[in-house]
Structure 1
Amino acid sequence: MSRKNQTGTASTDAQVNGLRFVFYGRTSTVRNQDRVSSQGWQRDMADNLINGHGQVVCAYFDAGTSRRVPWRQRPQAAELMTALSSPELAVDAIVVGEYERAFTGTQFLTLYTWCTRHGIQLWLPETGGPVDLANRDHRALLSLLATQSQREVLRARHRVLAAMHNQATQQGRYLGGRPPYGYQLVDGGPHPNLADARWGRRLQRLAPDPRTAPHVAWMFRQRLAGHSIASIARHLNERRVPCPSSADPDRNRHRTGGAWTLRTVAVILANPRYTGRQAWNRRATDTSGPASTPALSAKAAHPALVTEQDFVAAQHVRAARPAGDGQTRRFALAGLIHCGVCDRRLDSHWNHGRPTYRCRHGHTSTQRASQPRPKTLYIREDHLVDQINVRLGDQDGDGHATLESARTRSSRVATALRDSGQVIVCDNAGWRLQEIDSS
């Protein structure tokens, strides 16, 4: 029979006096925590607990794994459970160095149930030995430990987010991540934390990248001149300007595209960092507290590639623009028309002074057509609305549509479709109404 020692390698059988224990420990990160020290003190706690009762025959230690990850999804914890399920490894108990390092939420109860089913004891320093949930004091203590562990997670998260929010808004500090396209990282001086500074840690800040910064400035000029995002992306591709994943492949290994897309250009034009202000947490999903909301520095933190006035003006270009007759461009059926050929939603498209919808079956304006594709589908909003009204019987006695403005009729049809949970499916042969699949 072979077992694993502290380093995870197999060790030969040895005479064990008393119970055979498996040690488990965990540390959240390998970057900000010393694995050797963390594993050492947790192992010391376990050894002191089982002294005189037996000895550890193998050890498992997860480094860089959050406590919120279930045991079955932690590499070492999952391996431990697999090993203990095998009859080849004779073990009497699991011992952990600290409850809060190993468990949170209902994880302990899940593991305790599993251990009971396999005839294995579970030892904790907090209980001074094996846990017995038949003991009222143990149940109360474990309930308290579970609450405390969850509270520690929430408090740590809140403190970190609050500190980062302050560092971004009040100090304009660069807080990591890939630098935006158009910028590069340069030395930002010694770290403000004296202990970190003594260890040689230094801050970083953003500075214009001479290779890519001119392209960012050009994009904003084009947008302010009224050019569409698709037109900007297409011209960048035609000029063979490297896109972010091509310009900095080491920091964009998760991206494989080598061309500009609509989204890439849109994200750059909407990034306030180009005004010189530092931004953080722009994609926040939890806005329950001030520390969880997006943050923008109170003053400039790095050289700007566009003025604040031009940046704000560029955002307004994205809004609905007036047509030639001064009317506001409105698309009442946007998102409600699907292509019967490729199942895409039709794009809103202003054509000859009226709202229309089209599907190019996957072709985008950022690239020139390079392969055959189905004929582009065009649908006029007013024609489609009139046909729907006729089918629904919304007409007067002479068979003509009721007298009301085209905009009102379109809005009424759109409201009726949304209320009934239907969409319009169109192809070159006609159209039909279809229930939205909620599954």
Structure 2
Amino acid sequence: MFDAPIDLSDLPGYQAAVDLRPARTVFLGRVSTKDLQDPRSSIAGQVAEASVLLEAGEQFTGYFWDVESGMLGLDERSQIGPEVYERLEVPVPRDGGLNDLLEAVERGERPGERVACERISRVAREMLASLTVEHYLESKGIAILCANEPQGGKTTGRLELRRNAQVRAEIVRHELVEQSMRGQRQHTANGYRHGPPLYGYIAVPDPAALPAANRFGGGRPKHRLALHPDRRRQATVARAFELRRDEALGDAELGAALAADLQAHPLAEGQKEWCGRNVRRMLANPKYAGYQVWNRRTRERANPICEWIWSSGPAHPAIVTLEEWHATQKVTEQLRERRRSGWDRVQAAADERGVPLTRTRESDEHVVLEVDGRQIVVPRGQLPPAAADELVDFLQASR
């Protein structure tokens, strides 16, 4: 029906050249985490499923797989060291992870002409990530094949199934995030701890919260915070809060004060010294007021206080009162504000109140400002914090 009207089989190029080289196919897999799924059975099962895409007598020429969340961005994938994978004892060889495969292709090594996986969500749960990988490999002449997709037939049918699968994986990704957030919020509301215990506390299992069994045995017990048996630690925390509130000591000054008497203020296990960073984190933590608090930070930034999730009531013994913690944060903010340029603070206060700030005269040593009809003499150059404080107070009282 679509043939030429005469026989053209004697012409060069009538038949496409046939590549007689055997096809090379690499396996690509992923399992969520070693806690949620058993990587030994899951990866081996994925290999078995993807093997249906091999031609007769063909073997995979490479195995690239990861044990990590499919919700990670591509730049965060394949970060676990090989020693961790050795301990997992997965009965499948590993030539690297997804990023190792992409880097090999980028170097021009082409581990294979085809990449086979069980389903497209094994590449990534986020649609943009899986589309990016798919597009990149296809631009290099490497096709991604999925065992759960029909082989042969029209491209449109296969493409429709794959795009639907990617959309479904994206929806499942968001659903898992929502369920995880809900669980974390309830976990916090019930007063259970997140992360390692902070200085002055230890973690103890809650006998009232029996671990739920799962298909791999008993679940992990829930923990609450309890006071550390070394009472000097609670005294150290209370003293740090007191020095900040009453004497307005900065982070470095507080660290030096604690380091001056390590007998009274012992270091935590693994802590090398008292430094400003240790103190700053301690004083900012509302858990010292006896409440569990979650969602204070994401990986990228600190969250606004209005987004924090608090326990429904006191969850463990407090070292400071909630009012003392609150007062400490106010002093910390004042100290942070004073680290700004004195002139910046004064100008910001003037702008906030709508008060004109005019330099009328100046000499080598002083500047005369006219503020709300009054003249004020201040030192020339960098404005000392004390002078800036007085000017800010005056501007805030104006109008």
> TM-score, normalised on structure 1?
0.60
Task: State whether structure 2 residue 224 is matched by structure 1 residue 205.
Answer: yes
Cα pair 1:84 1:91 within 8 Å, conserved: no
Q: Pick from 181, 185, 189: which aligns with 1:161?
A: 181
Equivalenced residues, count:
324
Change (3 A) 1:145 1:406: farther
- The answer to whether the Cα contact below 8 Å between 1:30 and 1:63 also exists between their aligned partners in 2 is yes
1:59 Cα deviation from its structure 2 partner: 1.6
How far apart, in 1, do the equivalents of 2:100 and 2:140 lie? 16
Where 1:212 maps in the other structure, the secondary structure is helix
Q: Give the superposition deviation at 1:43.
A: 1.5
Q: Equivalences for 1:8-407 in 2 at 5 Å? A: 19-50=23-54, 52=56, 54-64=58-68, 66-70=70-74, 74=78, 75-83=96-104, 91-103=112-124, 104-129=126-151, 135-169=155-189, 171-175=190-194, 177-189=195-207, 191-195=209-213, 199=218, 201-209=220-228, 210=230, 211-224=232-245, 226-230=246-250, 232-240=254-262, 246-249=267-270, 258-261=273-276, 263-284=277-298, 293-318=307-332, 335-336=340-341, 388-390=359-361, 402=370, 404=372
Contact 2:369/2:375, CA 8 A, preserved across alignment: no
CA RMSD of aligned residues (A): 4.4
Aligned mates of 1:109, 1:303 — CA distance in 2: 50
Distance 1:425 1:131 in 2: 79
Aligned-residue offset at 1:18? 6.7
CA deviation digits over 1:37-64, x for unaligned, max 9?
2202212221234475844233221123
1:88-123, CA deviations, whole angstroms, 9 ceiling, x for partnerless residues?
Answer: 877342101121121333344443444444443321
Alpha-carbon distance change, 402 to 30 in structure 1, aligned in 2, over 3 angstroms: same
Written as runs of structure 1 = structure 2, the 5 A alignment for 1:423-434 is none
Contact 1:188–1:203, Cα closer than 8 Å, also in 2: yes
1:63 maps to a residue whose letter is: V
SS in 1 for 2:97: helix
Aligned to 1:363: none
2: CA distance between counterparts of 1:237 and 1:272? 23
Q: Contact 2:201 / 2:226 at 8 angstroms: preserved in 1?
A: yes
Shift of 1:299: 1.7
Consecutive unaligned residues of structure 1, counting only runs of 5 or more, are 1-15, 322-329, 339-345, 349-354, 356-384, 392-398, 411-423, 428-439
The aligned amino acid for 2:122 is R
* Equivalent residues of 1:272, 1:311 under 8 A apart: yes
Closer, same or farther: CA 408–273 of 1 in aligned 2, 3 Å: farther
Query: Any conservation in 1 of the 2:241–2:283 contact (CA below 8 Å)?
Result: yes
Q: Give, in angstroms, the shift of residue 215 of structure 1.
A: 0.7
Letter in 2 for 1:238: A
SS across alignment from 1:38: helix
Q: Deviations over 1:264-287 (max 9, x none)?
A: 334323322112211112225597
Displacement after TM superposition at 1:26 (Å)? 0.9
Mapped contact 2:112–2:142 kept (Cα < 8 A): yes
CA distance in 2, matches of 1:138, 1:64: 27
- Identify the structure with the greater helix proportion: 2
CA distance in 2, matches of 1:43, 1:306: 56
Change (3 A) 1:405 1:267: farther
In 1, distance between residues paired with 2:374 and 2:265?
43
User: Residues 94, 199 of structure 1: CA spacing in aligned structure 2 closer, same or farther, 3 A cutoff?
Assistant: same
Instruction: Find the aligned partners of 1:147 and 1:425 in 2 and give their Cα distance.
Output: 61
Rate the CA distance shift 1:213–1:18 in 2: closer, same or farther, 3 A.
same
Describe the shift of the 1:114–1:219 C-alpha distance in structure 2 as closer, same or farther (beyond 3 A): closer
